[in-house]
């Protein structure tokens, strides 16, 4: 007989679970669903945070945007050359990009302007420019954008509607990416001259100024200098964006907190029911066991096995269901709740990213608590005399 596991008590615990199978099946299903819901939410949250962190890593150290009356507007591209004169600034680029509404498909494209003869501070553009060469009237499209265009009968070109109502025909020169990574969603790349024509940018206008700093420790001081030079403009640091995305998908956000509180409330209703006392049949069962010679330790071990089998199997089932739901089925419905404000990301494919601390938190919030709620009422009864229990 094992020192740590008594097989006879284990078989008795399994039989006890079977005797109240309908009640235990209900508890198992509820616990599994609660664990699956919380685990799915955490899995998706961690995947999104990891993806956004990888995306932020490709951002420039500082982004300078212009505002009028609190609304973002274009910036003078000549500012990029002036900023470059500041000590510590490694590179500065006047970036051109915009959002184009493809009304037929009810989607939006993000169009990025590139310069074939200058390095880009759009992180994902750099490797692409070494593989492709663009001429006037050419564009590169991400794979998911290419599928969307082909579905709407644009296989070799696309007609953009300009601000004056005329059309600009752009040839599809190539397709990049797998359409899975976050920064590649519905992206179109074209020369800056073509982008200016599509969005009616003037020659000296840019969407923002992207700035890279030679020494990361100098970023705050350079940001202060830029703010002093251009007090009406908005200075955005890479690390500020990282914090913003972290806060968007962490437990403190309202969505996660709501799910977490509701799940815990439901679970602790079950725990309260367990702690409120044993029914007369369970009390009589413990009394009989004591009368035939069972010790208090034997009764508690049997109840320990009973609670552990039910709670641990529910926990593992919930985690497996969450894993399948998020990483294999791509989290239908739940993913749309996360991304409902981000049209470009609706087709985003979730990549594996698990926080083992989260799994440990779910474990300790479910399994030990349920086991305790099973053992404590039994201990209160098992410490009484057998005749007192039977009465």
Q: What is the model's pLDDT at position 159? A: 94
Q: What share of the chain in percent tops pLDDT 90?
A: 38
Banded pLDDT at 386 (limits 50, 70, 90) = low
Q: Please check whether residue 210 is in contact with residue 60, taking contact to mean a CB–CB distance below 8 angstroms.
A: yes
Q: Which residue has the higher pLDDT, 261 or 370?
A: 370
Confidence of residue 111 (pLDDT cuts 50, 70, 90): very high
Contact 156, 172 (CB under 8 A): yes
Least confident segment among 67-81, 180-194, 247-261, 263-277: 247-261
Instruction: For residues 231-238, give the mean pLDDT.
Output: 92
Look at residue 139 and tell me whether its pLDDT is greater than 80.
yes
pLDDT for the residue 181 = 52
- Cβ neighbors of 195 (< 8 A, separation 6 or more) are 96, 97, 98, 111, 112, 113, 201
Q: Give the Cα separation of 47 and 64 in Å (integer).
A: 29
Pairing of strands 167-176, 138-142: parallel
Mean pLDDT, the chain, rounded, equals 83
Q: Assign residue 7 a region: left if phi > 0, alpha if psi is -120 to 50, beta otherwise?
A: alpha
Give pairs for 77-83: CB < 8 Å, separation 24+: 77/204, 77/205, 77/206, 77/209, 78/204, 79/209, 79/230, 80/206, 80/209, 82/229, 83/209, 83/211, 83/226, 83/229
pLDDT recorded at residue 285: 73
Q: What are phi and psi of 205, to 5 degrees?
A: -100, 145
Q: What angle do CA 9, 10, 12 make, to 5 degrees?
A: 60
- Cα–Cα distance for residue pair 250/227, rounded to 1 Å: 30
At 184, is the pLDDT very low, low, confident or very high (cuts 50, 70, 90)?
A: low
Residue 2's pLDDT is: 47
pTM of the model: 0.72
Strands (E), 152-230: 157-161, 167-176, 187-191, 205-206, 208-213
Query: Bigger pLDDT: 175 or 271?
Result: 175
Residue ranges of domains in the chain: 7-54+248-390, 60-237
**Which pLDDT score, from 0 to 100, does residue 178 have?**
53
Stretch 11-35: mean pLDDT: 88
Min mean pLDDT across 17-26, 80-89, 118-127 is at 118-127
pLDDT at 180 over 60: no
CA-to-CA dists, residue 166 to 80, 161, 194, 326, angstroms: 32, 6, 14, 44
Please give the structure tokens belonging to residue 170: 């752009």
Average pLDDT for residues 182-191, to the nearest whole number? 78
Report the candidate in 167, 148, 166, 163 with the shortest Cα–Cα distance to residue 110: 148
Average pLDDT, stretch 82-88?
Answer: 93
In this prediction, residue 156 has a pLDDT band, given cuts at 50, 70 and 90, of very high
pLDDT digits (tens, 9 = 90+) for 275-297: 665 566 666 777 677 677 778 78
| Of 236 and 272, more confident | 236
Q: What is the pLDDT of residues 282-338, one digit of tens each?
A: 667 776 776 777 787 888 888 889 889 999 999 999 999 999 998 888 888 777 766
Percentage of the chain beyond pLDDT 70 is 84
């Amino acid at each position: 007989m094992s020192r740590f596991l008594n097989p006879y008590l284990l078989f008795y615990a399994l039989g006890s679970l079977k005797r109240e199978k309908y009640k235990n099946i209900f508890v198992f299903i509820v616990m599994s669903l609660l664990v699956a819901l919380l685990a799915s939410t955490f899995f998706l949250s961690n995947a999104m945070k990891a993806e956004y962190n990888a995306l932020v890593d490709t951002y420039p150290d500082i982004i300078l945007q212009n505002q009028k009356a609190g609304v973002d507007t274009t910036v003078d591209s000549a500012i990029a050359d002036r900023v470059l004169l500041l000590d510590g600034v490694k590179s500065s680029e006047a970036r051109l990009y915009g959002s184009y509404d493809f009304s037929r498909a009810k989607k939006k494209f993000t169009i990025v302007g590139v310069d074939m003869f200058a390095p880009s501070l759009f992180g994902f553009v750099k490797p692409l420019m070494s593989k492709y060469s663009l001429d006037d009237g050419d564009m590169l499209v991400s794979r998911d954008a290419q599928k969307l265009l082909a579905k709407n009968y644009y296989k070799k070109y696309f007609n953009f509607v300009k601000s004056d109502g005329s059309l600009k025909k752009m040839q599809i020169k190539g397709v990049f990416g797998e359409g899975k990574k976050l920064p590649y969603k519905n992206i179109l790349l074209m020369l800056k001259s073509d982008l200016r024509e599509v969005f009616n940018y003037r020659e000296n206008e840019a969407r923002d100024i992207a700035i890279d700093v030679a020494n990361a420790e100098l970023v705050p001081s350079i940001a202060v200098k830029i703010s002093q030079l251009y007090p009406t403009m908005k200075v955005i640091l890479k690390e500020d964006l990282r914090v913003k995305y972290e806060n968007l998908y962490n437990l403190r956000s309202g969505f996660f907190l709501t799910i977490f509180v509701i799940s815990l409330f439901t679970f602790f209703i079950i725990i309260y029911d367990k702690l409120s006392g044993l029914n007369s049949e369970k009390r009589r069962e413990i009394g009989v066991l004591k009368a035939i010679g069972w010790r208090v330790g034997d009764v508690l071990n049997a109840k320990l096995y009973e609670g552990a089998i039910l709670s641990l199997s529910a926990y593992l089932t919930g985690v497996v269901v969450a894993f399948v739901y998020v990483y294999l089925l791509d989290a239908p419905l739940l993913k749309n709740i996360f991304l409902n404000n981000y049209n470009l990301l609706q087709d985003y494919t979730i990549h594996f990213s698990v926080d083992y601390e989260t799994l440990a938190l779910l474990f300790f919030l479910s399994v030990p608590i349920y086991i305790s709620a099973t053992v404590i009422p039994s201990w209160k009864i098992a410490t009484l005399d057998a005749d007192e229990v039977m009465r």
